[in-house]
């Protein structure tokens, strides 16, 4: 029984590797998986890589090969609402794939064809603990996370996905983690720090604020784990 923590990029994972006690590192499916400890919790730490395929592959690996009984996905995101500032934290209430569109079937954006899946709800208990964490000078809010295999960096694209899905922020992995966790009945949570505004300035902001966003989101996750009693994952609500 362990808590899986995944990020898309090295810069995000390195902060966990620096702070947690690493016990063993192994190679699986092209990924380096670190078994670690933090505050009495057994953790499995992995940099999954960017995008939904990497995220899905990594999540299933965490569940099957490393017995993850909860999965946390952290890193940066682009803001979709004006009230969010760079550095603020979004704790996901649910995640949806903004780039999954099958018009001819008459399905709404994000609906997975031939299933009832569209919005993947995160675990309420994990959410509550994340919202109780604190970060000086930044807000921590809950909201919907939009996921897709395309970096959102222009107004037209942002408006198009927002019109249908009304998200708080956009990133590239959360809903893939959500779908895999949902079908495996494993609780999950996505915690994102805002690195840009998902508009024409995104490329510059993303480069400048990525490190800060990585630090902020990892701080929330580690605070959350400090507050949760070891073994919570065996009783978490799927």
| Interface ranges with ligand ADE (CB under 6 A) | 76-78, 151-153, 170-172, 195-196, 198, 202, 206
202 three-class SS: helix
Q: 180 vs 66, 70, 143, 173, 188, CA distance in Å? A: 15, 12, 20, 11, 10
Residue 55 CB, nearest approach to ligand ADE (Å): 12
Q: 19 vs 13, 28, 37, 45, 215, CA distance in Å? A: 10, 23, 10, 12, 11
Q: Which residues have a Cβ under 8 Å from the Cβ of 171 and sit 6 or more positions away?
A: 75, 76, 77, 78, 145, 146, 147, 190, 192
Q: Which is nearer to ligand ADE, 41 or 52 (CB)?
A: 52
Tell me whether residue 35 is one of the annotated catalytic residues.
Answer: no
Residue 96 CB, nearest approach to ligand ADE (Å): 14
Residue 200 CB, nearest approach to ligand ADE (Å): 11
Contact 153, 199 (CB under 8 A): yes
Residue 211 CB, nearest approach to ligand ADE (Å): 13
Q: Which is nearer to ligand ADE, 181 or 198 (CB)?
A: 198
Q: Which is nearer to ligand ADE, 4 or 167 (CB)?
A: 167
Task: Say how many C-beta atoms besides its own lie within 10 A of residue 23's C-beta.
Answer: 11
Residue 93 CB, nearest approach to ligand ADE (Å): 18
* Of 88, 94, 153, 196, catalytic: 196
* Of 12, 88, 123, 171, catalytic: 12
Q: What is the rounded CA–CA span in Å between residue 217 and residue 207?
A: 16
Contact 146, 176 (CB under 8 A): no
Q: Which is nearer to ligand ADE, 42 or 196 (CB)?
A: 196
Tell me whether residue 154 is one of the annotated catalytic residues.
Answer: no
Sign of the CA dihedral 27, 31, 37, 43?
negative
Q: Which is nearer to ligand ADE, 128 or 150 (CB)?
A: 150
Active site positions, annotated: 12, 196
């Amino acid at each position: 029984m362990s808590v899986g923590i995944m990020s898309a990029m090295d810069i995000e994972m390195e902060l966990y590797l620096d702070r947690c006690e690493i016990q063993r590192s192994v190679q699986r499916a092209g990924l380096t998986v670190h078994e670690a400890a933090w505050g009495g919790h057994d953790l499995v730490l992995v940099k999954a890589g960017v995008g939904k395929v990497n995220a899905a592959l990594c999540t299933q690996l965490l569940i099957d090969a490393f017995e993850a009984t909860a999965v946390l996905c952290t890193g940066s995101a682009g803001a979709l609402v004006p009230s969010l500032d760079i550095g603020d934290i979004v704790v996901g209430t649910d995640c949806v794939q903004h780039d999954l569109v099958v018009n001819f079937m008459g399905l709404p954006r994000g609906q997975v064809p031939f299933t009832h899946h569209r919005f993947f709800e995160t675990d309420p208990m994990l959410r509550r603990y994340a919202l109780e964490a604190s970060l000086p000078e930044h807000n921590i809010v809950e909201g919907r996370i939009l996921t897709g295999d395309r970096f959102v960096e222009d107004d037209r694209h942002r408006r198009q996905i927002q019109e249908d899905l009304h998200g708080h922020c956009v990133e590239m992995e959360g809903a893939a983690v959500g779908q895999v966790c949902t079908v495996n009945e494993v609780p999950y949570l996505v915690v994102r720090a805002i690195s840009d505004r998902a508009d024409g300035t995104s490329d510059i902001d993303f480069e400048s604020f990525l490190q800060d966003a990585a630090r902020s989101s990892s701080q929330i996750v580690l605070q959350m784990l400090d507050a949760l009693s070891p073994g919570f994952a065996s009783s978490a609500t799927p």
